[in-house]
A and B are shown apart, each in its own frame.
Chain A
Amino acid sequence: MIGTRAVELEKLRTGIAGFDQISNGGLPLNRSTLVAGTAGSGKTVFALQFLVMGVQACAEHGVCVTFEEAPEDLMRNVASFGWDFEAMNRNGQIAIVDATPEQGEEMLEAGSYDLSALMARIENAIRKVNAKRVVFDSVGALFPQFSDANVVRRELHRIASALRLLGVTTIITMERLAEDGGLARFGVEEFVADNVLVLRNRLEQEKRRRTIEILKFRGATHQKGEYPFTVDHAEGVAIIPLSAIELKQRSSDLRVSSGVPELDQMCGGGFYRDSIILVSGATGTGKTLMVTHYLKAAIERGERALLIAAEESREQLTRNASNWNVDFDSAEKDGLLRIIARYPETMGLEDHQLYIQREINEFRPSRLGVDSLSAFERAGSPKSYREFVIALTSHIKKVGLTGLFTNTTSMLMGGESITETHISTITDMIVLLRYVELYGMMRRGLAILKMRGTQHDKDIREYVIDGHGMHLVATFRDVHGILTGAPTYMFAREREHLAEMFARPPSEL
């Protein structure tokens, strides 16, 4: 292999959502990995999920060595994730080594000792279930049981080395006292320093933000930096792999209708099927209406559409749609439409991401609408929001559906919003809806800012909203600066217009 490339250590696929991506394939095979984190950072869930996924996804058995929680408590706690540890234990898929201190039992030290008995028990358990995965949770609880921390450290080091020879991949959890500073208590990192993961649970702008970081993998590659994750009651730990997302997206020449015929014409025959469209505009410009048209176009073709509503309730949406002759109710009954209305504040952005992803995987829509995406800004820090947008768009791209997001701009005229800056490079098409103030009247203008892969109409078109929905009419002529929010008019036209204005009776003004 000399001269080709460095030989990388083999990895063990964990089966934990997102982790295998950020670790470039899983945990280093037959090695020990330290998982450090403060209380409540999700260490135990992560470690036990490693065992459960071994059984459920990889047909690999495991051993859980518990130092802190009694086996009964452990089983009960993880039952809330739908993991039947008890059955796995009964079926010989998972063995438990109970190394918790006995309640009320005194232990006296009378001379030198080692932890060979613990090693013998672990080895016995590994043999019994033919384990490939071992979890130590959490070794911190072992230290107070013995007077000499050095002995415990030395023995843990010996056990970790012995496990490597037994051909098992081990996770050792260890508590940290604070999010920053020392890696783990009792100098544990010294004996399992090869591979270290850090789980964090920080309070950022009054929102909890959980992250996981691979600090190091000796002799193996991994993605760097912190990745957000959530602890979910259906999946346990789910990591959102962000930068590990590959840009290997398919692209299609197929066009789908926007639901507004004139808009389809403007963009040369409709949206591309695998594209992400951002509709940006101030409040009242007709963004929700555009989403309604877009969903209706799918329903009429007998395709499924999913709507994530963040600002209006299902009833409001359905009522408004029926005003424009779109029947959301019967579409939902026919299984062609699913509306998920949820306030962004109800949970963290990582959870939203997970739920939306789950809805997409379950309902398998051909179109997704999010109204509005910018409402999700409220549910987390700007960093979390950026990650949410990236993760959501890349998932949509991966699945290959059409996504239409709306973005509410803060200013009535013109304006720019944070969503645009984060999302504009990911989106394939941006449609601007703008108020245009002309001669003391509010009118609305639509422009296609960009559309990847095809020519599009560069005009700014006026549109009107009536009982049948949105209609594009003429192009604004002789007007400049609509997008900046300060339109100016050509002289000749103005003189004409002024003449018209004074010709009209005052009641029409």
Chain B
Amino acid sequence: MTLQLGLFITGQTSNSLRAMENLRRIFQQELNIPCEIDIIDVLEYPQIAEDEKIVATPTLVKRHPGPVRKIIGDLSDTRKVLLGLGILQDSSAVRLGKEEGSGNDRD
């Protein structure tokens, strides 16, 4: 399964540069699945930002597989990025689910 991503940035701002750098690092260190990344500079292509309803920059959009999800910020929080991409399961959510399950069992 190929991951299709779009990264919306604004020119050469520090947030934009950090986001590109952080994304590269995450892919090198954490991921080994095929991936297509489309980098869009909203200053040059505002219409694409319009079509995908991007408000904040940088924004990483997981376009495929669905559901579409947006991760905003310079991607410095690796765990959040992996959660957003669906690669990491939300451990707190999983734990919560188990507790609820056990609760039901007791009933």
Contact = CB atoms under 8 A, between A and B. Distances in A.
A109 B19 CA distance: 12
Interface in B6-40: 8, 10, 13, 15, 18-19, 22
A114 B56 contact: yes
Nearest to A99: B55
A120 B72 contact: no
Contact of B46 (A100, A107, A124): A124
B13 A111 contact: no
Interface in B51-100: 53-60, 67-78, 80-81, 83-84
Contacts of A100: 53
B43 interface: yes
8 contacts: A98-B50, A102-B53, A106-B84, A107-B69, A113-B59, A115-B57, A118-B55, A125-B50
Given A110-B84, A112-B74, A113-B74, A105 B55 contact: no
Interface in A86-124: 97-100, 102, 104-118, 120-121, 123-124
Contact of B56 (A98, A113, A125): A113
Interface of B: 8, 10, 13, 15, 18-19, 22, 42-43, 46-47, 49-50, 53-60, 67-78, 80-81, 83-84
Given A109-B71, A110-B71, 11 more contacts: A108-B83, A108-B84, A109-B77, A110-B74, A111-B15, A111-B19, A111-B76, A116-B13, A117-B42, A120-B49, A121-B46
A443 to B, nearest CB: 80
A498 to B, nearest CB: 95
A113 B73 contact: yes
Nearest to A98: B53
A189 B7 CA distance: 33
Most A CB within 10 A of own CB, among B43, B53, B68 = B53
B70 A105 contact: yes
A114 B50 contact: no
A109 B73 contact: yes
By secondary structure, the B interface counts as: mixed
A110 B53 contact: no
Contacts of A105: 67-70
A146 interface: yes
Interface in A61-105: 97-100, 102, 104-105
B21 to A, nearest CB: 11
Contacts of B77: 109-111
A115 B72 CA distance: 10
